[in-house]
Structure formats: C-alpha cells, structure tokens
Amino acid sequence: MTEVRQINFDMDGTIANLYGVEGWLEYLIDKDETPYVEAKPLVNLSALARVLNRLQRNGYELNIISWLAKNSDDVYDEKVILAKKNWLAKHMPSVKWNNVNIVTYGTPKQNLGQGILFDDEKPNRDNWNGTAYDVDNIVGTLKKLA
C-alpha cells in the first residue's frame, strides 16, 4: 500500500486567527469578509513556510481545506474565497499550494483529502482518514517529517 503524502490545513482557527478579530461574528452575520482579511497568523508563518517548502521538495502535496461561513450566499462566498486566497498569498507567498479547497460550511473534510490534517476542530480530526493533529505545535510536528 502506498503512503499518502498529503499535508492538509484548515485556515480559520488553525493558521489564521479569524476568531481574534474583534466583532468577527457580527461581521460574518452581516456578510462582511473583514475578519478573513484582517486575521493575524496563529503560527510563525516564516518557519512554517520553510518546513512546508522542504516537505514539498521531498514529495509532499500541500493543501488547504477550509470552510466558508455558515448561512452564506453565492456573493459572500466569492468574497470570502478571494479574501482567503489573498491572505495565503500575503502571509505565505513562498508556498505553492497544490490545492486550495474553500468549501461550503460543514462539508466533510475527509472527502477532500488524505494523509495529514491540521485542524482546530476536534470533530474534523476525529473523522479524518489519516493522521490528524490539533494546532498546538504545527511547525514542530512537521519538522519531524522533514
């Protein structure tokens, strides 16, 4: 059996501090993408990018699997998708993601990837088809693979 060499990341609450933006929930209810734009990093992104680039050179596929907002609509979804992609480009420009999947809230993440998942939500980790980690030591965990 071939080892699946994918590393998948959630964004909100995992690498981007969406929930640290003051008034984030009100923004989302008002269908305003500001929290996705203003979210600060939750990890040292330079260190993360260095280890991800090394892992990618060693054959790993790098993916984002992130949900859109609850109770959204097509117009707001497009704004959020653009904001998330711009966040990645701004904060991690050296990482060339193999896939960026930004999908409807609640989509089972295990249907979108395999291998390794980093996610702040325990149900996503519990349902994952592979090895899933919380967000406590992302860079340290990845360095063990590199």
Residue 71: band (very low, low, confident or very high) from pLDDT cuts 50, 70, 90:
confident
Q: Give the mean model confidence (pLDDT) for residues 51-63.
A: 97
Prediction pTM value: 0.95
Do residues 142 and 7 touch, judged by C-beta distance below 8 A?
yes
Q: Rg for the chain (alpha carbons), in Å?
A: 15
Quote the tokens at residue 1: 């059996």
- CATH fold of the domain at 6-143: Rossmann fold (3.40.50)
pLDDT in tens, 91-129: 999 999 999 999 999 999 999 999 999 999 999 999 999
User: Tell me: the pLDDT tens digits for 124-142?
Assistant: 999 999 999 999 999 999 9
Helix (H) or strand (E) holding 6: strand 6-9
Q: What is the pLDDT of residue 146?
A: 76
Total residues found in the chain within this entry:
146
